[in-house]
Structure 1
Amino acid sequence: MRDVVDENNRKATESVRLGNWNEQYSLGVLYRPPNSNSNIWDLFSESVDKALDCNLPIFLCGDFNCDMMSNSSNSFKKLLNRLNLENVVWESTNFTTQTGTCIDLCVTNRKNLIKSVTVLTPICSSHSPVSVEISFKTFKQHSFKRQIRDFKRADYEGLKNQLNDTDWDDVVFNSNNINDVYMNFVKTFESTVNRYIPTKTITVRPNDKPFMNNLIRNKIRHRNRIHHKAKTSNNPDHWKKFREIRNEIISLVRKAKDDYKCKLTSQLIDKNIPPGKWWRIAKSVSNFTKNRDSPPFLEHDGQIFIHPLDKSEILNNHFADIANIDIEPEIPDNNEPPPCHLNKFVITEKEILDQLKILNVNKPAGPDGISPRILKEVASFISKPLTK
């Protein structure tokens, strides 16, 4: 939001965009001077329209000098209704010796996020502080364990010999049901792979930086323990040890960042890298993000429209006028089966082998859990049973 000024060039609103891990929102602080003319509401409407184009929750708080509990605020209530905004304060906030008025407001386009509203006791003026509690849920991804293949310890020669000695007709093709044949093949192949390619358990930490490693994590834990000990004892030796470990961590983090950047650079200049992976790395390095902000305004019939509802209505009418809906042809009433039937099809061993050889080993495993890297490595030993 930009600043709104009144007829005397006095500032009326200021806003800032805030956010946590999962949410962003705009918070505006507004002051409307008493006895202001209607021009300030036009400026207010224009400013709010631009803020709404950001598609963020908006909270406008301050002294509006417009009593929501009297009929004098009907025009302001209509303005809020047009902007799809709601006031959540409906108690007297400004008190005199005889009356109380509701002029310190909180206006929002996401009333469902308001958890509670409390009008507190006045402290140093006739205005009561208004406490508004906003509910924003943060979702933190926790670390989890995962099993992966340890290909560095794989015995490919033993795996190939075992697959070559397997009697596929006896253990797989002992049924006429295609589903049973498939399950027999998967079970036989997985049991053989498990014997020659071991697995290992890793810890996946989604919230970690990509350059983080176990050495830095251990040093951070050590630093935290020494820091707690130094605060408790206030021993100069403990503080000296803490500073030494802290400086060591800073050096390790800088080196890890440099190594990570060098790794990304080497991947970018690799001619064999897939295009999709190249673009992902390039975007992460350059911090390039696509601008998804809505257009600021829409001009139609010589008028400029800012509100999203007005813009959507104009666009809807435009495309509805130019759309030509073709009349669908009638479906013939023909119940006769097609003359051609696919009784059988022939797949050669070479075709299977060619498809296995071009598998991308960087792709994850499919629903059956079989890695493309393993299929490509033993392609010549499983291509024959896969043709049956």
Structure 2
Amino acid sequence: MEVLPEANACVNANKSELVGEKGSGLQSECQRTNDPKLLNSFGLQKRGLKIANLNVQHILPKIEEIRLTLNEKKSLHILGLCETFLNPELGDNLIEVNGYDTIRKDRHETQDKTGGGVLVYINNLMAYERRKDLEIGNVESIWLQINFPSTKPILLCSVYRPPDMKVDWIDAFELEISKASSLDLEIIIMGDINIDYAQGCSNNKWSHMIQCHGLTQLIDNPTRVTYKSKKIIDHIYTNKFDNIIETFVPYLALSDHYPVCLTRKTNVKEIPDSSHKIITYRCFKKFNEENFIKELQCKPFNNVIEEHDTDKALNIWYSLFNNVLNKHAPIKTKRVKNVQRPEWLTPEILTARQNRDYYHKKHDLDRYRFWRNKSKSLIDDAKNKFYKTSIEQAKNPKELWKYVKGLNQTKSSPFPSQLKTHNGVITETQHIVDAFNKHFINIAPKDSLSTSQSYKFDSNKIYEEVAAKVPQDTWFYIPLITVAEVKDCLSNLNVAKATGIDQISPRILKLSSEVISPSIAYIINRSITAGIFSF
């Protein structure tokens, strides 16, 4: 397969000449990098809130590439898409991306037509809210309010203006901008406006409206390039130009438009880092099974058997066992990359995507179409082969369902980054947990029970209910367990099963079954005879 050396892109890392912002001292960069690491990504390099918008021209055939591009480097916090061509019959599960919330507005919501539509993917760790009060009339737009812990929120709009729209579309969209401007917040607007800025704004009414609302257009590199023309019809606008530290138009040829991208400066702590995650694990790097068992044998597990209180006996057992386990296999935390590349991804697919983008940049239409179709067919073939082989070779139902679920994206529900209460907004994790606990323990009506009388449990009602349904000569009892039965259970544990909440894995229990079986059997039997379940 052909591999290409060049993958440059033109960049506006804050420009020197912008509408309404001349002499700002910002410099333009072109051909920023030949680094292959930036291929097929959105190329934003500076720290901050990373946002992009793309006219995708039908999302469904390109959803795997969108998922791949977003999850390769966790490069974006927010991605807006125009011309999604979605309708009510197409559920969110078909277009969801792991790690992102999906906000969509299909064309049927604003007009009695097909096609069009806008959608926004936003990192599910971001604090935001949909501002439907700003979405007025039949404009294809989505307004979001992005909230930060210590600074004022910003308003973000992803919008699409079809090329055949009449002049009254500008009047309708101005109503949205006017209402947003009245909130005295920072505004960022991005989308395919279909008004060319290549030689200055080609629409006087639009230009006048933008200037009246103090907005600056940030993109001056072509976003739609053909043999005959180079047009800047995909735009980014803001009323706080100084907060935008980087803009970029990458040669990412998912459609015949290039994305428009920006980085908005923020406090590092205000932006969730989804490119890495913290994991907790047992380190077996220096684990020696023989030494572990020898030390375990020296521990006084007889102390467990001498204790008649079931709960205390269990606590003694955990203390003795974990003291040895934590010494030989300590619990550690580590920050790791949160890159989620699909298992079906191959080097041939990456190369085909690189070649597609390269020839699109070079305006070689025939080769671009060849590599566009090639990359799509390689992705389809790789997915079909991977899932077919995986499902056929699945050894158990768990493994089978793992691959079946992989065919359909599922929406995750992460812990909220903030919580609104009567006393304001809470951002600290522990304070959010405390607020939830306080809410749920007080959710029952306070007058449901008399404050002067305490509730008493009447066990006689249970005995009467059982006696009415079970014959008197029927007896039920739980037989005591033997040490041999406990050892047999532990020795046959499946080491592939997940570790429980006590952080003792099946592998360790199986390994130490000879030593721990007597003490575990004692705890189980004490629980049976005392009628107490210890945990």
Q: Tell me which interval the TM-score lies in, with the shorter structure as reference length.
A: 0.3 to 0.5
Larger radius of gyration: 1
Between Structure 1 and Structure 2, which shows a larger proportion of helix residues? 1
Per the normalisation by structure 1, the TM-score is: 0.42
Greater RCO (Cα-Cα under 8 Å, separation 6 or more): 2
Per the normalisation by structure 2, the TM-score is: 0.32
